[in-house]
Each structure stands twice: as C-alpha cells, then as structure tokens.
Amino acid sequence: MSFSSLGLSEPILKAVSKQGYEKPSPIQEQAIPAILEGKDIMAAAQTGTGKTAGFTLPLLERLSKGKPVRSNHVRALVLTPTRELAAQVGESVAKYAKHLSISSAVVFGGVKVSPQMLRMRKGADVLVATPGRLMDLHSQNAVKFQDVEILVLDEADRMLDMGFIRDIRKILALLPKQRQNLLFSATFSDDIRNLAKGLVNDPVEIDVNPRNQTARTVNQWICPVDQKKKANLLTHLLTDRQWKQVLVFTKTKHGANRLATHLEGRGISAAAIHGNKSQAARTKALANFKAGEVRVLVATDIAARGLDIEQLPQVVNFDLPHVPEDYVHRIGRTGRAGAVGEAISLVCAEEFKDLQAIERLTQQVLHREIIDGFNPINKLGVSRLNTTPIKAKKPKINRQLQSGASLKQTERRPSSKPRTPRKPT
Ligand code: AMP
C-alpha cells in the first residue's frame, strides 16, 4: 500500500514524501480513506502509531476542496489535552499543509491571550487548541464555531483523565450539528464510549493497538533496587551504558525536580518538566532536549503525554506508575516507527504491588537484572503472572468524571485536599 493509492492529492503527497515516509502506517491505511469519505471515526491508537498524520492528511485534503475561511472562523477544530501536544500537532499540520493554501493556528493557555486573539482575526482553516483556552477565546468572540466542518478529539482518554469533560461538552454543544467527528484515544474505556455516544455518528472503528499490549519492539526490563539508591543507580546506568538521551518518569513533580538537581550535580545535563513549570520553561526544556543539549528529561506522566521525541532509545521509569495503563503510555515513547527501544524500570520493594499490576495488565513477567553494587537490602517480591482477567471499572468512576474530577494524576491530587478539576490550560 502506498500513500498515493489512499486518495490524497499531489500537494499532500509531496509534503509526505518530504518527511521521508515510505508507506502508510496501519492507522493511516485505515483512517485516511474513511475520513476522505466523510465518515466519523473512533480510533484506538497511541502516540507513535502515526495517528497525527492519520487524521491531518485527509482533513487537509477535505478542507482544500472547500470555501476559504472567514474572519475569526474555524473549519477544522483539533482539541488536545496538553499544550505540548497542541504545539506538536500544530507543527505537523503546518508541515503537511505546506503546499496547500490552508491556514492553521495553535492556541493554548499559559501564554498571553492577545496575540492569539489577533491571530484569529484572519480565521484559521485548522485550529489546534486546548479546551480551556479555546473556551476563553470563544467567550471573547475571537473564535467562532459556525463554520466548523470537522472536529478531532486527540488523546480523548487523557482529556477525560485531566478533567476536561465539562469543557468538551460545552464546546460540543456550541458546534454545528452537521459535522465530521474524529475521535482518537489510546484506549476505549467505558468512559470514552459514553463520550462517543453523543459525539460520533455510525463511526468506523479502528484499533491498531491491541488493548494494553506493550510494543514488541521495546525491550523491557527492571532493576530491583532500594528506593534511596535509585538516583545513584540511574547515574551509574547513564555512564556505564553510555545512554545518550533518556526520558525519565517520576511519580511526582517534587521527585522530578529533585532528580534533575541530583543529575545536574553529577555533571549530567538534565531538565524537569511538569505541571508546575511555566509554559516557557516547559517549551525551553523540551526544545533543549530535542536539540540534544539536555541529556536527561525528567517528566511526570501529564507533562510527558503525547511528546513526540523521535526515536528515543531509552525510557526509564524512576518510579513505577500507580496506574498500570500509564506504564504502557510511558514506554510508548521508545521503540517507535519500527526502531528497537529499551524501557528500564527501577523498582524498589515498596513498589511490588505496582509491578504486579503492570505485569498483570501487560500479561508478561518483566525480566530482572540486579546491577553490581546496587543489590537491594529490601528484597523485591517474586513475580507470578496473574492471568485472571481484570474486572471492568466500577460505575462510580463515571460520576467522578462527570463532575470534572481528575482520576489518575498523582501530581495534581494531594491526598489531603478534595479533588478539584484541573485548571483549563
Ligand atoms: P504520531 O503517532 O502521530 O505521534 O507519530 C509518530 C511519529 O511517526 C512522528 O515522528 C511522525 O513523523 C512519524 N510518522 C508518521 N507517519 C509515518 C509513516 N507513514 N512512516 C514513517 N514515520 C511516520
């Protein structure tokens, strides 16, 4: 199968070939023809599958055939959960639209609103936005929805996790009824299916990641180690194994900062990104990492979600996530586009439960390697694969989501405080 057989026109094929893509990825093979036909789609696909081009290419093709955009109006709206993802999708749209007269814009919170209002005066064929800022701009009449023909919800599962459900429902209510809807999500949980009910019409369902399977191109292993020795072990591995660039996950913002400081103190360039950092600091850290100036990027789950960092050879779980699905998301950062990657988890005895949950979810017992000099005093329990099916989530989760609460994010949910929805970005 080639891109040209999918029904895309010359200017788009030219942009695709400039990227060096030889053939469509499975999601692209399935999504592009369906979207070109005007169908709604529901696609289960994680970052790294080529999903962005999967919706952007046919969306541009369709828009290129219609009327020019009006001032302050939008023809295709792409909603993303995070600012980083919005910026990345925006870059992809601009890249693929290079040889078309299609305009695009990106809006997200954490930066001044006035330049975005100014930009929207000439309208945008494609607007990539985070929900909170989009609502802001709409309430100030800077963005008008009457001409929206296509809606894309990217990483819908994460939008729900981050408490954006209310904003999303408000936005949906403001859009024209007649439109094409494209829903992308890493998994199709019951919550996503509930959201989909009021959103997509007779959708084509596409599933390119068998649920909760970790990529086969990722070599996963764990290092049993005492909690206190983790930072030194990471420094040792970085040096001993000559890892060039590593994305490291921590459970908390504080942990991310502490680890980055620890590494810097040992002459290893490191930066932390998490929800407490300003937009400018996050963008700078990511740019420095992409430019190779920062060797270790330490991130919490929220900050790292959707980051497109090409062909990262190693991903390290400094802490195991409490939510086993996050393990699958995290290691999706490596072994992408056919390259073999390595995902290493530093696991202490106290994390045995989290390890068991991950092994049960992914249906594998992870290979263990104890590093000389880091033999743990507190021994990690012995894993046995639990093949009992995981029970469906309890309905109580739905109620929490409807009230806009965040479900998973340790980084934003101090146990002493009541749960509150995430401040829209
Ligand atoms: P995404 O899943 O959209 O985040 O894309 C993951 C990465 O795959 C990005 O760096 C894309 O540039 C790249 N990519 C997308 N489509 C293809 C393709 N057909 N062949 C090779 N790489 C691709």
Q: Where are the domains of the chain?
A: 3-207, 218-368
Whether the model clears a pTM of 0.75, i.e. scores above it, the answer is no
Rg (CA), the chain: 22
> Whole-angstrom Cα distance, residue 159 to residue 296?
27
Angle (CA) 279 121 423, round 5°: 30
Orientation angle between helical segments 253-265 and 230-240, nearest 10 degrees: 50
Instruction: Please report, in tens digits, the pLDDT of each residue of the chain (425 residues total).
Output: 899 999 999 999 999 999 988 889 889 999 999 999 999 999 988 776 789 999 999 999 999 999 999 999 999 999 999 898 999 999 999 999 999 999 999 999 999 999 999 999 999 999 999 999 999 999 999 999 999 999 999 999 888 878 898 999 999 999 999 999 999 998 777 888 889 988 999 999 998 764 445 555 688 999 999 999 999 999 999 999 999 899 999 999 999 999 999 999 999 999 999 878 887 888 888 889 988 999 999 999 877 765 666 667 889 999 999 889 889 888 877 765 556 789 999 999 999 999 999 988 887 788 899 999 999 999 999 987 676 666 655 444 333 333 332 223 333 333 333 334 444 33
Report the separation in Å between the CA atom of 56 and the middle of ligand 1, taken as the mean of its atom positions: 12
Pocket test of ligand 1: the residue of 308, 333, 334 to mutate, having most ligand atoms within 8 Å of its CB, is 308
- Within this chain, domains 3-207 and 218-368 share the same CATH topology: yes
Q: Which atom of ligand 1 is nearest to the CA of 88?
A: 4
CATH 3.40.50.80 fits 218-368, yes or no: no
Q: Which atom of ligand 1 is nearest to the CA of 25?
A: 19
> Whole-angstrom Cα distance, residue 228 to residue 259?
12
| Cβ of 51 less than 6 Å from ligand 1 | yes
Pocket test of ligand 1: the residue of 12, 23, 52, 57 to mutate, having most ligand atoms within 8 Å of its CB, is 52
Nearest to 206 by CA among 182, 178, 189: 182
What's the first-to-final CA gap in the chain, in angstroms? Answer: 40
Which amino acid residue places its CA nearest to atom 5 of ligand 1?
50
Superfamily of segment(s) 3-207 = P-loop containing nucleotide triphosphate hydrolases (3.40.50.300)
Burial of 211-236, coded b for 16+ CB within 10 Å and e otherwise, reads ebebbeebebebbbbbeebbbebbbb
Q: Counting Cβ atoms within 10 Å, is residue 200 exposed (0-12), middle (13-18) or buried (19+)?
A: buried
Joined together, the tokens standing for residue 203 give 């959708």
High-pLDDT (> 90) share of the chain, %: 62
Pocket test of ligand 1: the residue of 2, 21, 57 to mutate, having most ligand atoms within 8 Å of its CB, is 21
> Whole-angstrom Cα distance, residue 68 to residue 26?
32
| Cβ of 24 less than 6 Å from ligand 1 | yes
Report the separation in Å between the CA atom of 7 and the middle of ligand 1, taken as the mean of its atom positions: 19
Report the separation in Å between the CA atom of 41 and the middle of ligand 1, taken as the mean of its atom positions: 19
